[in-house]
Amino acid sequence: MRLAIMGAGAVGRSVAELAPEYGHDVVAIADSSGAVVDADGVAVEDALERKADTGTVGSADPDDVLGASYDVLVEATPTTLGDAEPGFGNLAAALERDRHVVLANKGPVAERYDDVMALVADSDGEVRFEATVGAAIPAIATIEGVGPSRVTAVRGVLNGTANFVLTRMAKEGLSYEHVLAEAQDLGVAEADPSFDVEGTDAALKGTIVANVLDGGGHTLGDASVEGITVLPTSALDLAAEDGRTVRLIVEVTRSGVHVAPRLVPEHDTLAVSGTMNIVQFETEHADRLNISGRGAGGPETASAVLADVDRLD
Amino acid sequence: MRLAIMGAGAVGRSVAELAPEYGHDVVAIADSSGAVVDADGVAVEDALERKADTGTVGSADPDDVLGASYDVLVEATPTTLGDAEPGFGNLAAALERDRHVVLANKGPVAERYDDVMALVADSDGEVRFEATVGAAIPAIATIEGVGPSRVTAVRGVLNGTANFVLTRMAKEGLSYEHVLAEAQDLGVAEADPSFDVEGTDAALKGTIVANVLDGGGHTLGDASVEGITVLPTSALDLAAEDGRTVRLIVEVTRSGVHVAPRLVPEHDTLAVSGTMNIVQFETEHADRLNISGRGAGGPETASAVLADVDRLD
């Protein structure tokens, strides 16, 4: 397949680097200020070196990528809330040309799922988005395998930054502020960590799962969301005395999406450590399935994107 | 799809009962002594009642099922070693008629994988076998998603009976013989438990995984297999003093299939309890993925069979 990649952050770069191993060609890649398009295949290494040197992958207009001769648009620009732009517009442009879209960007399927599916209905292109929920964890494929109507609930730990902070607070007895600063030093938390620690990122993933289970109808605004920013170390100490710990749990049921810190037994299946993620599927005929793995990271997310490319007809 | 089901044990019965919910029709079902074939759809409830009353689902010849008008043959007869008959012959008959086959029977893909794939190459029918490894755990689909060449190793606990025995021995300090008798009373272990406790069943699953990773070339005879029958309670006690426990671990690497009791940390990801199964995938670009769930049971296995039916073109 010929891939056009919108976004040259950690995920876009990893997709570009791994594509040849999966048998695909990169014919275009764009960052926010420039692009390179080459129908014979972009020289990926050169483009990424140029980005490191000059700040952009190339001198073409990013919008030229949308008009290139590709089979699949990989949308890996940053997730935005509300109108989910520019990701949504990029997706729409590809579907209007009957091209497939694989999303790493959560925005379009968390905020505008019904709009996305309306465009899909009028297009020969498909949209896949395995990478948006738990990166390397095959959450969407598992729901598709079981059948959405036979998954009765999904629970999970879906934000590695928040989980790292909670794990360290509980283990070392340190304050939220202290551990957050440490996570920022390690590059586990961003300079503005609000998306992660306030539960927004986990809620976006829960909303995407809810849309898959119900065939649409959910946006971030419908989710109840509570983060970990006001959690005192003393709460974790009290939990530990009782053999329990606290995790930021996303819960998706037929009554909606709920994100909040929850008490779980210390060695519970959901009590993954550090930046690990886990998704637990409650099914009608096969009891519980639990899948844990790396919920973030360039190559981890890119491998989910490229698995989606392989699933396209 | 029109399903013909060979085998009316726990799995065959569950497939027959759940098929309508998945949108499929059962047009034939056979046990070892009889069968019922009806192009308009078998009355499943009646057939299973007949089996309960008379010992067989119907008065037709089981071989008539192979000649029925079906799209998919569900092969759910008991796993046999060596020539994998009658499962292999049933599979061959379906492929020769260009029909699809979904296996719950491990024999054909553990003992004669290369023969199966030679038949597939000459047929318009496909063979799928998700249910053979860990029942409800989507092990094969996950390897397909990651790409077999990018899975560097697979480890797991893949026999619920052996794991139940080990878990109870460690927790209660009871002897192997005592816990095995208890497991037989509970129906967790069979009257002849050798297949489970000697590691054969786990090795069959490991061999199937090895065949998927390497595209064939493996049979049960190539695996190194050690069971749990000679494990003294004292070994578990010693492990516990050190914060560890023992699990019957299947390991599949490029150097082959190994099944043996192994020491693992008490709260390790692989240290699942009771009849739970777990599969751990070591991948090239996405670190480790762990999937735990129900590795046996009628509805659990049937749900994997029916997921395979949905994956057929």
User: Domain with B99 in it: what CATH number?
Assistant: 3.40.50.720
**Residues 6 or more apart in contact with residue B24 via CB below 8 angstroms:** B1, B2, B3, B72, B306, B309
Chain A residues whose beta carbon lies within 8 Å of the beta carbon of residue B288:
293-294
Phi, psi of B279 (to 5 degrees): -125, 130
Res A204: pLDDT:
98
Answer yes or no: do A247 and A263 share one domain.
Answer: yes
Same domain, A276 and A304: no
A116 and A164 within one domain = no
User: Cβ contact (<8 Å) for B303 and A292?
Assistant: no
* Average pLDDT score, chain A: 96
- At B313 the pLDDT is 72
Amino acid at A150: R
- Shortest distance, CA B288 to any CA of chain A (angstroms): 6
Asked if residues B29 and B44 have their Cβ atoms less than 8 Å apart, the reply is: yes
Distance CA B276, CA A84 (A): 41
- pLDDT at position B139 is 98
Q: Is the pLDDT of residue B113 over 90?
A: yes
- pLDDT tens, residue by residue, A211-225: 999 999 999 999 999
pLDDT digits over B260-281, tens only?
A: 999 999 999 999 999 999 999 9
Side-chain-side CA neighbours of residue A192 (13 Å): 3
* First CA to last CA distance, chain A: 11
Q: Helix B139-146 vs helix A298-311: angle between axes, to the nearest 10 degrees?
A: 100
pLDDT category at B2 given cuts 50, 70, 90 is very high
Instruction: Quick: pLDDT tens for B51-101.
Output: 999 999 999 999 999 999 999 999 999 999 999 999 999 999 999 999 999
Beta-carbon separation of B289 and A138 below 8 A: yes
Q: Do A146 and B303 touch (CB under 8 A)?
A: yes
How many other CB atoms are there within 10 angstroms of residue B67's CB atom?
Answer: 13
In this structure, are A144 and A51 located in the same domain?
Answer: no
Say if B10 is an interface residue toward chain A (CB within 8 Å): no
- Let me know whether A143 and A222 are in one domain: yes
pLDDT tens-digit readout, A72-116: 999 999 999 999 999 999 999 999 999 999 999 999 999 999 999
Do residues B166 and B257 share a domain?
yes
| Annotated binding-site positions of B | 7-12, 106, 190
Residues of chain B contacting A146 with CB distance shorter than 8 Å: 303, 307
For the stretch A134-144, pLDDT in tens is 999 999 999 99
Whether B102 and B125 have beta carbons less than 8 Å apart is answered as no
Supply the pLDDT for residue A313.
72
A267 vs B contacts (CB less than 8 Å): 267
Domain shared by B168 and B222, yes or no: yes
Taking the Cβ of residue A299 and every Cβ of chain B, the question of whether any pair is shorter than 8 Å is answered with yes
B124 with B62, same domain: the answer is yes
Give Cβ neighbours of residue B211 (< 8 Å, ≥ 6 apart): B109, B110, B113, B217, B218
Average confidence score pLDDT of chain B: 96
Name the minimum distance, in Å, from the CA of A170 to any CA of chain B.
Answer: 17
Tell me, what's the pLDDT at B285? Answer: 96
Q: Quick one: residue B272, left, alpha or beta (phi over 0 = left, psi -120 to 50 = alpha)?
A: beta
Chains A–B, number of C-beta pairs less than 8 Å apart:
96
B307 contacts in chain A (CB < 8 Å): 145-147
Same domain flag for B56 and B92: yes
Residue A266: closest C-alpha in chain B: B267
Q: How many residues does chain A have?
A: 313
Q: Residues of B marked as binding for NADPH?
A: 106
B273 in contact with A, Cβ within 8 Å = no
Strand B35-37 to A100-103 pairing: unpaired
Q: Please state the residue numbers annotated as binding site of A.
A: 7-12, 106, 190
Q: Which domain holds residue A306?
A: 2-135+299-311
For residue B122, pLDDT over 90 is answered with yes
Q: Which residues pair with A256 in a beta bridge?
A: A253
Indicate whether A147 and A253 sit together in one domain: yes
User: pLDDT by residue (tens digit) across A5-59?
Assistant: 999 999 999 999 999 999 999 999 999 999 999 999 999 999 999 999 999 999 9
Distance CA A71, CA A67 (A): 11
CA dist A126 → A117, A122, A312, B123 (Å): 9, 10, 7, 29
Domain count, chain A: 2
Q: Helix, strand or coil for residue A219?
A: coil
pLDDT attached to residue B101: 98
Query: What 3 state SS string does chain B have?
Result: CEEEEECCCHHHHHHHHHHHHHCCEEEEEECCCCEEECCCCCCHHHHHHHHHHHCCCCCECHHHHHHCCCCEEEECCCCCCCCCCCHHHHHHHHHHCCCEEEECCCHHHHHCHHHHHHHHHCCCCCEECHHHCCCCCCHHHHHHHHCHHHEEEEEEECCHHHHHHHHHHHHHCCCHHHHHHHHHHHCCCCCCCHHHHCCHHHHHHHHHHHHHHHCCCCCHHHCEECCCCCCCHHHHHHHHHCCEEEEEEEEEECCEEEEEEEEEECCCCCCCCCCEEEEEEEECCCCEEEEEEECCCHHHHHHHHHHHHHHCC
Contact between residue B72 and residue B91 where contact means Cβ atoms under 8 Å apart: no
The interface predicted TM-score (ipTM) is: 0.95
Residues A22 and A88 in one domain: yes
Yes or no, beta carbons of B136 and A286 under 8 Å apart: yes
Q: How many angstroms away from the CA of B160 is the closest CA of chain A?
A: 15
* CATH code of residue A235: 3.30.360.10
State the DSSP string of A72-130: EEEE-SPP-STT-TTHHHHHHHHHHTT-EEEE--SHHHHH-HHHHHHHHHT-S--EE-G
**B290-308 mean pLDDT:** 96
| Residues B165 and B89 occupy one common structural domain | no
Nearest to B291 among A291, A303, A311 (CB): A291
Instruction: Report which DSSP code applies to A195.
Output: H
d(C-alpha A198, C-alpha A215), whole Å: 27
- Residue B205 annotated as catalytic: yes
Residue A101 backbone dihedrals phi, psi, to 5 degrees: -130, 130
Distance of alpha carbon B204 from alpha carbon B107, whole angstroms: 8
pLDDT at B127: 98
